[in-house]
Structure 1
Amino acid sequence: MDFSTPHTERSFFLIAGPCVIEGRDHAHFLASSLRDLAEARGIPFLFKASFDKANRTSKDSYRGTSLEEGLDILSEIRTRHGVPVLTDVHESAQCPLVASAVDVLQIPAFLCRQTDLLLAAGATGRAVNIKKGQFLAPWDLRHAVDKVRTVDGHGPVWVTERGASFGYGNLVVDFQGFPHLRRTGCPVVFDATHSVQKPGALGHATGGAREMIPTLARAAATAVDGFFFEVHEDPSKALSDGPNAIRLDAFGDLLDQLLAIWRASRAATLADPAAHP
C-alpha cells in the first residue's frame, strides 16, 4: 500500500477491525474475515485494533491486553494475513516500540493537540492518522498536521473526522468540515462508527446509535478517501464500543453501497472539479 495515497482510482481505502484486542484468536478471525471482504471488492485494507483503550468511561471497563502482548498479536496479524496494521498510541514513549510492530500510528481524538505525542509519532517515520478531536474545529486540525510535518523524516499524515460534541452525550457530523480537512493536503478518512457514539450514555460506558452508521457513511462517501469502521461479529458481546460497532455479517453489503457512491462521486469530480471543493 502507498501510504501517501492509500486509495486507488477504483476504491477508497478501508481501516477496520474491533475497537480493542479481545484475544489472539478473535483478532485473527476478524483480520482474516475483513481482509477477505476487502479483497473481494478490490479495496485496500488496513486492520485496526487497540492494545489499550486508555480513555474508557469507567476504570473498571476492559482496556485491552498489555502493550507487549498486543504488539505481538498485531505483528503476527501483519505477517500471517499480509495486511498493514494500525493502532493507537497514547504516550510519547510508546511510539518507537509501537512503530516496530505496525504500519500506521493513530493519534486518538482526545489527544490530537498533544504536541509531544504528535512529534514522537512523526519521528518514527511511520504513517500517522490524526483523529480530529470532538472539541476541535475542522480548520484547526491543520495545526496538528503541521506539528507532525515539522519532524525530519516524518511519514505520510492522514486526518480523520469522527463527529463533534453536541451538548452532553451526543455527537454530530458537520459535512461542511470535509473540505476544510482536505485543505490540509492529507488523505481524508471518515470514522463512521465513532461518529454515532453517545458518550457516557450508558452511565458506566459509552452508548451508540449503530443503526445510523450506514446513513452517515453513505453521505460521507462523496467526500473522503478512506473509511474507518469498528466491526464485530456480535456487537452486543464486544468488550468495548459494542453500541457503535457494525455487525460483520452486514458489512459487505454496506461496502458495496459505499463503493457505488464513491465511484459515482469521483467520476463527477473528474468531470467538473470546480463543483466539488
Structure 2
Amino acid sequence: MLPLPVVKVGSVPVDGTQPLFILGPCVIESEEFIWDVAERLGAIANSLRLKWVFKASYDKANRSAISSYRGLGVEKGCRILAEIGAKLGVPVTTDVHSPEEAKIAAEHIDLLQIPAFLSRQTDLILAAGETGRAVNVKKGQFMAPWDVKNIAEKLASVGCENFLFTERGTTFGYQNLVTDMRSLYWMRELGYRVIFDATHSVQRPGGLGTTTGGDGKLAPVLARAAVATGCDGVFMETHPDPSKALSDGPNQVPMADIAQVVEKLRRIHSLVTEDS
C-alpha cells in the first residue's frame, strides 16, 4: 500500500489517528431548520470530542421528480453554512454541480463535494481543484474502485493534492445498490484517503417512484463493516425525524441515535488501528 497523505479539511487533519465524521442533514430545509440541526450536532460532537465536518446541500440537483424539494440555492445556502461553521468552529461541506458553483462555494466552504453522478465531469473536477479548497469526490455508482486514479490525476493536473474519495455503493440491478468493502481497501492501496458514505450506500434510487427509497436501519451496520475494513472516516446523513425529511428521508439516521452510532464506530476504529 502506498503511503497515505494527510488531508486538511479546514484546520482538521485527516490522518488516520481518529475517524473523521461528516454529519448533517441531506438538504437545507430552511434557515431555522439547519441552525437547529447544526447546534444539536455540535453539542454531540463536543461532548464526544469528535473530529467532524458539518454537511448539508444547498441544492439537490438530481432529484427524481420535478416536484421534489431542492433547497435554498448556492448563494444563500453557502452563506448560511459559512456562518454555522464560524459559530461552531467546525469545517463545512456541500456538493457543487458546475464549475460556476464551485467558484462561488469556495468562498465559503472548506470541503467541496463532487456528487457521484458527476464524478467524471472533468470541467467540474478541475474547477473544484483550482479553488485551493479540499475536495471530496463521491465515487460514481458506475465506477470501479481503481478508476478513481483517473480522477486523482485530473485534480493533480491543477495542483490539487488535498482530496478525499468517498465510497457510496455500486449499482446492483435496478433501484438497488451494494457495497463492496474491498473497494475501501483498493482505493487506500492506491494511496488515497477514503471516506465511507453509510447513508447513500443504503439508498434504493427511485425506489418509491417519484422519490428515492432506502434502508436507513442498515446504514450503521454497513458503517461498522467499513470502519472494521479500514477507512479514514464516515459520511452519515442525519435528521431529527427522517419520516418528515424533504429529501432522502428513508436512508437518514435519526439524530437521537447519532451519539451511540458514532461512539461505537470510534471504538471499532480504535481496535482496528491498534491491530494494524
TM range (shorter): over 0.9
- 1:9-88 equivalent positions in 2, closer than 5 A: 9=17, 11-88=18-95
Cα drift, residue 205 of structure 1: 0.4
State whether structure 2 residue 110 is matched by structure 1 residue 90: no
| 1:5 positional shift | 3.7
Shift of 1:216: 0.4
Identity of aligned residues (%): 47
Whole-angstrom distance in 2 between the partners of 1:41 and 1:255: 9
Aligned ranges 1:1-277 → 2 under 5 Å: 2-3=8-9, 5-7=13-15, 9=17, 11-152=18-159, 154-222=160-228, 223-269=230-276
Alpha-carbon separation, structure 1, partners of 2:246 and 2:15? 31
For structure 2, list consecutive stretches of 5 or more residues without a partner in the other structure. 1-6
What amino acid does structure 1 have at the position aligned with 2:163? Answer: V
Kindly indicate whether the alpha-carbon contact (under 8 Å) linking 1:51 and 1:65 is maintained by their aligned counterparts in 2: yes
Task: Measure the CA separation in 2 of the matches of 1:180 and 1:8.
Answer: 16
What amino acid maps onto 1:199 in structure 2?
Answer: P
The AA in structure 2 aligned to 1:220 is A
Note the C-alpha offset of 1:265: 0.3
Q: Which runs of 5+ in 1 are unaligned?
A: 270-277
Cα distance in structure 1, aligned partners of 2:220 and 2:187: 22
Q: 2: distance between equivalents of 1:22 and 1:137? A: 33
Aligned residue identity for 2:211: A
Q: CA deviation at 1:68?
A: 1.6
Return the alpha-carbon distance in structure 2 between the equivalents of residues 257 and 112 of structure 1. Answer: 31
Counterpart of 1:210 in structure 2: which amino acid?
G
Q: How far, CA to CA, are the matches of 2:47 and 2:272 in structure 1?
A: 22
Please say if residues 128 and 155 of structure 1, whose CA atoms lie closer than 8 Å, have aligned partners that are also in contact: no
CA-CA distance at 1:7 after TM superposition: 4.6
Instruction: Provide the rounded CA distance (Å) in 2 between the counterparts of 1:111 and 1:66.
Output: 18
Following superposition, the deviation at residue 186 of structure 1 comes to 2.3
Are the equivalent residues in 1 in contact too, given 2:75–2:104 (CA < 8 A)? no
Deviations 1:28-49 (A, max 9, x none): 1111111222222222111000
Asked if 2 retains the 8 angstrom alpha-carbon contact of 1:7 and 1:44, the reply is no
Larger relative CO (CA 8 A, sep 6+): 1 or 2? 2
CA distance in 2, matches of 1:194, 1:188: 15
Aligned residues: 267
Q: Following TM superposition, by how much is the alpha carbon of 1:158 offset from its aligned partner in structure 2, in angstroms?
A: 0.2
Which deviates more from structure 2 when the two are superposed, residues 116-125 or residues 62-71? 62-71
For 1:72 and 1:5, how far apart are their aligned partners in 2?
A: 24
> Normalized against structure 2, the TM-score is what?
0.94
Structure 1 length as normaliser, TM-score?
0.93
CA shift, 1:178, in A, is 1.0
Amino acid at match of 1:158: L
- 1:101-159 residue CA offsets vs partner (Å, 9 max, x unmatched): 1100000000000111000000000000000000000111111111011103x251100
- State the alpha-carbon separation in 2 of the partners of residues 130 and 212 from structure 1: 23
SS of 1:52's equivalent? coil
